[in-house]
Structure 1
Amino acid sequence: MTKANYGLSGKKIVFVGASSGIGLAVATEFARQGVDLTITSHLDDVFEARDAIQKETGAKVTALKFDISRREEVIAAFADMGDIDVLVNNAGIGIPTPPADRSDKNAETFVRHFEVNVFGLYWCAQEAIARMKPGGKIIFTASIWARLAMKGNFLAYISSKHAVLGMVRSLACDLGEKGITVNAVCPGSMATEMNMNGLTADDQAALMAQMVIRPGLIDPKHLAGAYMFLASDGASEITGQEISVDRGQSIGGNQG
């Protein structure tokens, strides 16, 4: 299979949240484009991810470990990065938060979703913006659930992802005069390790039934084209938008 060329060679890409799942798969495809790649996570796994990407692609990759929900850690991590061409804001969490559960633990989990999925991504965007020239690009990972809702006690996750799309659109308006574009990718239900191990067979079957063009959960590597297009000059006239990569899941009739 011939590798598509998105004209990204030599670009400085900072990929926030790339130690596993969607982040690792998409960051690996960016590395194949000959970019100057930095990946981040709050987990030690980020160093294993770096080694795996380097082994698979032959590219040189920098790995940084810090917690994006702690603004002081974000500022310190970005301090020596120099100019940034593209920020991929992919980090996020998704844990059930039943509205009937009034425990302190559930409340803390609810707050944590916003600390990571909203505040943390904003802190990273702020630091990247300060290092971007006209033509810079910021890409958020949202979700089809940033545009929809569902049963299943994922109130915090869905609410925070709706906030991500609001942030994308607002940042796009504010950064337009600087020549910086801001967009989002909205993945459908993915065949990540978390989903494959964490969802019951019935849950997986229900999600598969929502797909319009092919059954089955989506391999994360199939998201990469959307991110790389939005990072490329081919997307220079696109801002404040979201691209759903979901096999039609978000337009099917079986949500809920």
Structure 2
Amino acid sequence: MTISQLDYRLDGRGVFITGGATGIGAALVTAFIEQGANVAFVDTNQAAGEALAQALTPAADRQLRFAVVDVTDTKTLQREIALVGGQFGQLDVLINNVGNDSRQDSATLTESDWLHCMSINLHPAFFAAQAAVSLMKANGGVILNFCSNLAYIGERNMAGYITAKAGLAGLTKALARDFGADGIRVNAIVPGWVATERQLNQWLSPEQEQQLMEMVAVPKRILPEDIARLALFLASEDSGFITGQCMVIDGGRI
């Protein structure tokens, strides 16, 4: 079944996605548009973001918005979320997808490198949620944070990234408690290795993929669309009593 054949009753919902121009983010933008939502997404990759926006065709009464935003600029990020809430008339779903999994040797990692890693992979999720909650309190909403199964199993030369992703798991638990009384659910998606274009081009060799397939229970590539399906479910009323959870989707590696 394709995403377009699913029905999660998201017509008219306002959705904001960070890091939406490529990879998993682009699959998320596409999936929510196909489910009838109004979607805004931000990214620093202007060319890719504009190309995606031009390639998608929302329903006639729906909106699609792309803006170039560096999520490490908290004021700009929060201002964009407020603008989207005003344009759409509501904000129902925030997806903190943005991330950077660059490898860095822990023996030579500088304080500046560490803080920059946190400024991309951890800090924006909190401050985006802070801005979104004020728009969600009247009618409730959903916040989805993107973690990683590496926070559970570790990996070499990724201490900053893994620490940030583990922090997102804790943030998910904390915000679920903070905002649950307002009808706002907060969950985390915890992917394993996903076959995005960037991963295939930069990190994966045939030998590495064979090793990955030997580590999982289901020896198949996880595609961005598989992650988007889980996001649709967690954003929908079908998951109405699921909150504070870290939902692993990694083919059974953990």
Deviation at 1:135, TM superposition (A): 2.7
In the TM superposition, what whole-angstrom CA distance separates every residue of 1:120-149 from its partner, at most 9, and x where no partner exists? Answer: 111111111111134311011111123331
Normalised to the residue count of structure 1, the TM-score between the two structures is 0.89
Does the alignment pair 1:120 with 2:127?
no
Matched ranges for 1:3-82 at <5 A: 3-44=5-46, 45-54=48-57, 60-82=63-85
Taking the aligned partners of 1:53 and 1:176, their CA distance within structure 2 comes to 34
Q: Report the equivalent of 1:101.
A: 108
Tell me which of 203, 207, 214 is aligned to 2:208.
203
Q: Report the equivalent of 1:145.
A: 150
Taking the aligned partners of 1:240 and 1:147, their CA distance within structure 2 comes to 17
Deviation at 1:60, TM superposition (A): 4.1
Taking the aligned partners of 1:218 and 1:230, their CA distance within structure 2 comes to 18
Deviation at 1:204, TM superposition (A): 2.5
Taking the aligned partners of 1:100 and 1:79, their CA distance within structure 2 comes to 41
Deviation at 1:18, TM superposition (A): 0.6
- Is the CA contact 1:136–1:180 (under 8 Å) kept in the aligned structure 2? yes
Q: Report the equivalent of 1:131.
A: 135
- Structure 1 residue ranges without an equivalent (≥5): 251-256
- The amino acid of 2:214's aligned partner reads A
Taking the aligned partners of 1:47 and 1:97, their CA distance within structure 2 comes to 31
- Cα RMSD for the two superposed structures: 1.8
Taking the aligned partners of 2:98 and 2:107, their CA distance within structure 1 comes to 27
- Is the CA contact 1:135–1:236 (under 8 Å) kept in the aligned structure 2? no
Deviation at 1:79, TM superposition (A): 2.8
- Structure 2 residue ranges without an equivalent (≥5): none
SS at match of 2:79: helix
Does the alignment pair 1:92 with 2:94?
no
Classify 1:192/1:136 alpha carbon distance in 2 versus 1 (closer, same or farther; 3 Å): same
What is the percentage of aligned positions where both structures have the same residue? 29
**Ranges of 4+ aligned residues in structure 1 off by more than 3 Å:** 57-60
The count of residues paired between Structure 1 and Structure 2 equals 244
SS at match of 2:103: coil
